[in-house]
A and B are shown apart, each in its own frame.
Chain A
Amino acid sequence: MDDQIVRVISRIIIPFIQVYGVFVVLHGHLSPGGGFPGGAILGASIILYTLAFGAKAGSQLIPHTTSKWLESGAILLFIAIGLIAVGSGRSFLTNRATGFAMGELGNIISAGFIPVVTIAIGVKVGSTMITLFHTMIDKEP
């Protein structure tokens, strides 16, 4: 698709989509949403970029190796946070009893490790969407 209107409109609205996605991910423990919808919104913004500017520009923005490493690293971060509780003798993903700071209800930095886990899920879901789409539109070798 090589259209001036699509390119200009995409360039205007992609930052707003990404700010909304980051908002949904960061407020995952306070408001509706969380890691999965926020990551899907972030992935959809990159897919929109690829649709508007072509497959070559899209794979230059997020190369396949970068999205592969993000995908694996995010889920490993999730498992590592869960294993901290196992190391101190409790069950997987135990939050308060392990000693994570709870903070004050309603702040962004509260609820122990839940924001970190939500960010990990968001990165994982977003990069999975990008990897899926780029794999699907790639020409076969």
Chain B
Amino acid sequence: MQILSLILVGFLILCALAAGRTKDLVSAVVIFASYSLIMAVLWLMLQSPDVAMTEAAIGAGVTTIMFVAVISRTSRIEK
């Protein structure tokens, strides 16, 4: 269990760095959604299922759709 959480935290940090460094904004949004999904699993392992439920619904679901809607109104590549 500890090895699994170490792997998840490592992947979380990788996702956070990659989302900041990506120039293509749609790729950044998808990376951010995977960050949220890993965070939801980590909340579940920290014994807080309601926060995990909220993170999966808001972070991975609605925020991603909102970001994609905003990108469709503006430009896709970061200048």
Contacts and interface: CB of A to CB of B under 8 A. Distances in A.
Main SS of chain A's interface residues?
Answer: helix
B65 A36 contact: no
A58 interface: no
A3 to B, nearest CB: 16
A56 B51 CA distance: 34
Given A129-B62, A133-B65, A33 B70 contact: no
A111 interface: no
Contacts of A37: 50, 53-54, 57
Given A32-B49, A44-B62, A47-B62, A136 B69 contact: yes
Nearest to B50: A32
B2 to A, nearest CB: 24
B62 A136 contact: no
Interface string A39-53: 011011001000100
A32 B53 contact: yes
A131 B66 CA distance: 12
Interface residues of B, number: 14
Query: Size band of the A side of the interface?
Result: 10 to 19
Given A40-B58, A136-B70, A51 B53 contact: no
A136 B61 contact: no
Contacts of A40: 54, 57-58, 61-62
Interface in B61-77: 61-62, 65-66, 69-70, 72-73
A33 B50 contact: yes
Contact of B61 (A24, A34, A44): A44
Interface of B: 49-50, 53-54, 57-58, 61-62, 65-66, 69-70, 72-73
22 contacts: A24-B53, A32-B49, A32-B50, A32-B53, A33-B50, A36-B54, A37-B53, A37-B54, A37-B57, A40-B58, A40-B61, A43-B62, A44-B57, A44-B61, A44-B65, A47-B65, A51-B65, A133-B62, A133-B66, A133-B69, A136-B70, A136-B73
